[in-house]
Amino acid sequence: SLALPGVFVRIDETLEEAAYRTIKEEIGSCDIYLEQLFTWGDIERDPRMRIISISYMAIVSPHKLKLVKGERVSEVKLYSVNKLIDTKEKLAFDHMKMIKYAIDRIKNKVAYTKIAFEFVEEEFTLPQLQKVYEILLNKTLYKANFRNKIKELVEETDKMTEKQPHRPSKYYRLRETEYEQNKGIFKR
């Protein structure tokens, strides 16, 4: 059955180091957003033995993905999260619960963090960013209201889209506040 990537934590590494090791082994990159998600400890979650898992949520741009088949797996493949949930695809252990928990976490974080910006390139158009918000929130947003809400978070670049069938769009980037520049918050 399908399973999320994971490893056992080595005696000489931290939880975060184990998470980054998994990411490096499975997708070949560590330049990503990573956040501890939840600790899973139901008694019979793994029929082999008592296993406690600490799950992490990683967000990585598709152009950074380089899927690598490691020693522990027969195949590495990307799946649409919505299709996995809708088709009731069989996942190992409680991995479906983990996926649903991560989706809920992202939806909740959209309201009070800049996590949506992890799903766009460094420079993006406002329609691209709005589409990300709509996907994460699972609802259609009114263009004018959306732009009003995010105007303090973005700054224009001097670039425009080219060779589009519609009117060119301006490119924007995430505006970093002085606090973020000094503390490294939400840095890429």
Class of domain 116-183: mainly alpha
How far is Cα 89 from Cα 163, in angstroms, rounded to an integer? 40
One of 44, 71, 75, 162 is an active-site residue; which one? 75
DSSP 119-138: GS-SEEEHHHHHHHHHHHHT
Residue ranges, CATH 1.10.10.10, the chain: 116-183
Choose among 138, 132, 108: nearest CA to 119: 132
Q: With bands split at pLDDT 50, 70 and 90, how would you rate the model's confidence at 180?
A: low
Tokens 């060119």 sit at which residue?
A: 168
Q: With bands split at pLDDT 50, 70 and 90, how would you rate the model's confidence at 80?
A: confident
Is the torsion defined by CA of 40, 53, 51, 104 positive or negative?
Answer: positive
Class of domain 15-110: alpha beta
Flag the least confident range among 72-86, 91-105, 115-129. 72-86
- 35 included as an active-site residue: no
Choose among 161, 185, 186: nearest CA to 171: 161
For the stretch 32-64, pLDDT in tens is 889 999 999 999 888 888 999 999 998 877 767
Residue ranges, CATH 3.90.79.10, the chain: 15-110
